[in-house]
Amino acid sequence: MMDSIYRFFAGGTFWDILGTFYQSAVFVYGFTLLMAYALLAAMSLTSIRNYMKKNASVNYDVIVESPLAPGISVIAPAFNEGVTIIQNVRSLLTLNYPKFEVIIINDGSTDDTLDKLIEEFQMIQVDYAYRQKLNCEMVTRIFKSTNHAYDKLIVVDKVNGKSKADASNAGINVSAYDYFLCTDVDCILDKDTLIKLIKPFMDQETVKIKELGEHCPECGYVMTQELHRRVIATGATLRMVNSCEVDEGLITRVKPPVRYLPRFQEMEYIRAFVLGKMGWDLINCVPNVSGGLGLFDKEIAVMAGGYDPKSFGEDMDLITRMGAFMKDNRKRYSIRYVPLTLCWTEGPTTMKVFGRQRSRWARGMAQIMSIHRRIIANPRYGNLGMIVFVYHFLFELLAPIVEFTGVLFYIYLIITGQINWPFAIILIVFVYTYSVMITTLALLWDQITFKYYKSWKETIGLCLMAFLEPFIYHPLIVFFSMKGYFNFVTGRKHTWGDMQRQGFGNQQKKKR
């Protein structure tokens, strides 16, 4: 989010040296960005407080007791997760919800993932009427348990499709319920995840209908238009599991990561979810539901074509297509975010894996902006075109580029001795203090909903990372983003599917 705040100091020196036009452009860019952050902070505070107020008195038990609860399919792809698969599946099976199924997609693992599942849960292959609604690699076998205690579990064995998107599509094809939760088998979910995420779907105003055409004389059928906003997806905050205490797939104590790299990520995640997503939620402009955890309306997701296995940012790509689909059909929709952490994921701990992840994200962003360029600033797409895409194009996609070139220019100025040091320093201090403020506010907002960390030392320890971020973490992100863009432009082949997930798995196996 802050990806480009630093470009501003470069802007300052441009101001002194370059012509008025360029000066003004950069100044406006930087100023708008900073104001956008302040605005987001204010909006997210409002929306978090609204959420807390509204949900303080909600009796969540009622859905557990109710026969009217809508069904949810939990979809979790697994690739070479043999060491932890059993615990993680068990933890998914004990989610607090009355009507759900757990679909594990064995994405052509080369280890014993599948054997372990078959043995532990007494699974046998069944003749399953599988239908390919969404494109994916071939599904070879489907397993169900002979023990009725595991009735909720379905295991799908498929040919490796080199991406999570491909495996998730297979899961959607198998799923039976109207909603699906997309997660990763190595993510740890809060036990109330399904309840908390289905709630926004059920708060929707009931369908109000306007007729569009003539009645069919036989049956009275008529084209209708929905005037309510249909919730098509919900998401919640993700955090790092790295230093949490975990017992058989259950978080027993939340702690910020000890190592610096994941700790920076925890801070960044909180900022992105609490400040970013919750802020956008207020004005119905949520840009993305994270791939680690999201609940989707299956009907819309399928009509929008499901996940794109070729995409590098398949989560945002799907959300964009679902939104565009709704807009193309002139339906109103919304995407909701819940300010609670419901999912814990393993953050990369080595620079290599981290760098690969970030390059991929950046490449994904570039890809989405180019594939969906028709949406950018297109009033036909409402908020999606005019706010979400414009913002992301200007301040997410372009930011690293502006910043990178800015820094180069700055260095050039220093070398040639054309720099106005006092002004430059004031601007640097300004950008620095401002970014520290935004991050600290995000961490404060996060404390409103729930006190995840037990001791104040842990909390402050995390807050202090905001002071180091501009020097250490941020330059890395800019660098890896540029690398991602470079890969995008040169179209280099990707191999993330195997590598990234294998990377995650291996770290985790040592830990638990």
Q: Binders of another protein among 271-330, rule CB under 8 A?
A: none
What distance in Å separates the CA atoms of residue 274 and residue 270, rounded to the nearest whole number?
5
- Give the burial class of 49: count Cβ atoms within 10 A of its Cβ; 0-12 exposed, 13-18 middle, 19 or more buried: middle
User: What is the nearest approach in angstroms of another protein to the Cβ of residue 21?
Assistant: 15
Q: 127, 421, 490, 491: which one contacts another protein (CB under 8 A)? A: 127
User: What is the nearest approach in angstroms of another protein to the Cβ of residue 273?
Assistant: 18
Q: Which of residues 235-254 bind another protein (CB under 8 A)?
A: 248, 250
HSE-CB of 41 using CA atoms within 13 angstroms: 21
- Give the burial class of 382: count Cβ atoms within 10 A of its Cβ; 0-12 exposed, 13-18 middle, 19 or more buried: middle
User: What is the nearest approach in angstroms of another protein to the Cβ of residue 90?
Assistant: 7
Residue 373 is a binding residue for another protein (CB under 8 A): no
Q: 28, 258, 460, 472: which one contacts another protein (CB under 8 A)? A: 460
Pairing of strands 229-240, 332-345: parallel
Residue 229 is a binding residue for another protein (CB under 8 A): no
User: What is the nearest approach in angstroms of another protein to the Cβ of residue 111?
Assistant: 24
Q: Which of residues 79-108 bind another protein (CB under 8 A)?
A: 90-91, 93-94, 96, 98-99, 101
Residue 221, φ and ψ in degrees, nearest 5? -70, 140
What distance in Å separates the CA atoms of residue 15 and residue 432, rounded to the nearest whole number?
19
Applying CB under 8 A, the span of 330-338, 402-410, 439-447, 475-483 interacting with another protein comes to 439-447
Choose between 219 and 415: whose C-beta lies nearer to another protein.
219
Can you tell me whether residue 455 is helix, strand or coil?
Answer: coil
Q: Which of residues 42-71 bind another protein (CB under 8 A)?
A: 53-54, 56-57, 59, 61-69
Q: 46, 140, 224, 405: which one contacts another protein (CB under 8 A)? A: 224
Residue 214 is a binding residue for another protein (CB under 8 A): no
Q: Which of residues 180-209 bind another protein (CB under 8 A)?
A: 191, 199, 201-209
Contact at 8 Å (CB) between 220 and 111? no
- Residue 424 parent element (H or E): helix 421-449
What distance in Å separates the CA atoms of residue 179 and residue 407, rounded to the nearest whole number?
47
Is the four-CA dihedral 464, 470, 472, 477 of positive or negative sign? positive
Applying CB under 8 A, the span of 389-397, 404-412, 436-444, 487-495 interacting with another protein comes to 436-444
Task: Tell me the site size for another protein, rule CB under 8 A.
Answer: 85
Q: Chain-centre distance of CA 297, in angstroms?
A: 16
User: What is the nearest approach in angstroms of another protein to the Cβ of residue 496?
Assistant: 33
Can you tell me whether residue 126 is helix, strand or coil?
Answer: coil
Q: 219, 417, 490, 493: which one contacts another protein (CB under 8 A)? A: 219
Residue recorded with tokens 């990763």: 184
Q: Alpha helix locations (H) across 121-182?
A: 164-174
Q: Which of residues 137-176 bind another protein (CB under 8 A)?
A: 144-151, 176
- Residue 402 parent element (H or E): helix 398-416
Choose between 226 and 498: whose C-beta lies nearer to another protein.
226
Q: Which of residues 376-435 bind another protein (CB under 8 A)?
A: 423, 426-427, 429-430, 433-434
**Angstrom distances, CA of residue 149 to CA of 74, 90, 123, 152:** 17, 11, 12, 8
User: What is the nearest approach in angstroms of another protein to the Cβ of residue 360?
Assistant: 33
Choose between 39 and 68: whose C-beta lies nearer to another protein.
68
Residue 25 is a binding residue for another protein (CB under 8 A): no
Contact at 8 Å (CB) between 323 and 196? no
Choose between 91 and 109: whose C-beta lies nearer to another protein.
91
- Residue 342 parent element (H or E): strand 332-345
Q: 447, 472, 489, 506: which one contacts another protein (CB under 8 A)? A: 447
